């Protein structure tokens, strides 16, 4: 008998209140590299969407240049939760309304991927749209559907 092993992909989006370079968004943008570096050093981190300079803020989910995306893959939900809720990331998450406008739910989607699979932004957008249209399923789900959720 073969036991299937899957990793966890996640996409979260936010609509920035201020463009890059605006002093009101400086604290957020000035800390992105540091917070992303923490993610990449976490046990269970696999991959994140970034350009050659290590930045993901130039990727677009749609035509709105103010919509920022974060797409990553983790070995386990526990690894992702440890990063989100047990590192300096949580202090930025708690202050997200300082830099981001409220967005219609869902703004986060999770799904399983095979080890070695690197999800595209188009795939992630499709999962988010599926989750928004149909609710949680094996194809797309959120934090509440994960047993033992720490969120």
Q: Is residue 2 scored above 60 in pLDDT?
A: no
Q: Is residue 149 scored above 90 in pLDDT?
A: no
Q: Report if residue 1 sits inside a domain.
A: no
pLDDT band at 106 (very low <50, low <70, confident <90, very high): very high
Q: Is residue 150 scored above 50 in pLDDT?
A: no
In this prediction, residues 75-85 reach a mean pLDDT of 95
Res 104: pLDDT: 82
pLDDT band at 78 (very low <50, low <70, confident <90, very high): very high
Res 151: pLDDT: 40
Q: Report if residue 150 sits inside a domain.
A: no
Q: Report if residue 2 sits inside a domain.
A: no
pLDDT band at 1 (very low <50, low <70, confident <90, very high): low
CB burial class (10 A; 0-12, 13-18, 19+) of residue 23?
exposed
Query: What is the number of domains present in the chain?
Result: 1
**In terms of residue numbers, what domain contains 43?**
7-145
Q: Can you give the CATH number for the domain in which 102 is found?
A: 3.30.70.100
Contacting residues for 35 by C-beta, under 8 A, at least 6 apart: 87, 88, 89, 92
Res 120: pLDDT: 97
Q: Report if residue 127 sits inside a domain.
A: yes
Contacting residues for 69 by C-beta, under 8 A, at least 6 apart: 11, 12, 13, 49, 56, 59, 60, 61, 121, 124
Res 55: pLDDT: 86
Res 53: pLDDT: 86
């Amino acid at each position: 008998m073969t036991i299937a092993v899957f990793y966890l992909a996640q996409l979260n989006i936010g609509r920035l209140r201020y463009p890059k370079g605006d002093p009101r968004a400086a604290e957020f943008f000035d800390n992105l590299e540091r917070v992303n570096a923490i993610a990449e050093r976490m046990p269970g981190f696999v991959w994140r969407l970034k350009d050659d300079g290590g930045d993901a803020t130039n990727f677009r989910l749609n035509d709105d240049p103010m919509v920022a995306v974060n797409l990553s893959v983790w070995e386990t939900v526990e690894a992702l939760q440890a990063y989100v809720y047990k590192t300096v990331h949580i202090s930025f998450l708690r202050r997200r309304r300082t830099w981001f406008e409220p967005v219609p739910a869902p703004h986060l989607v999770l799904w399983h991927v095979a080890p070695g699979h690197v999800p595209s932004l188009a795939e992630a957008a499709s999962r988010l749209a599926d989750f928004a249209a149909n609710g949680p399923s094996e194809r797309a789900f959120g934090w509440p559907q994960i047993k033992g959720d720490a969120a």
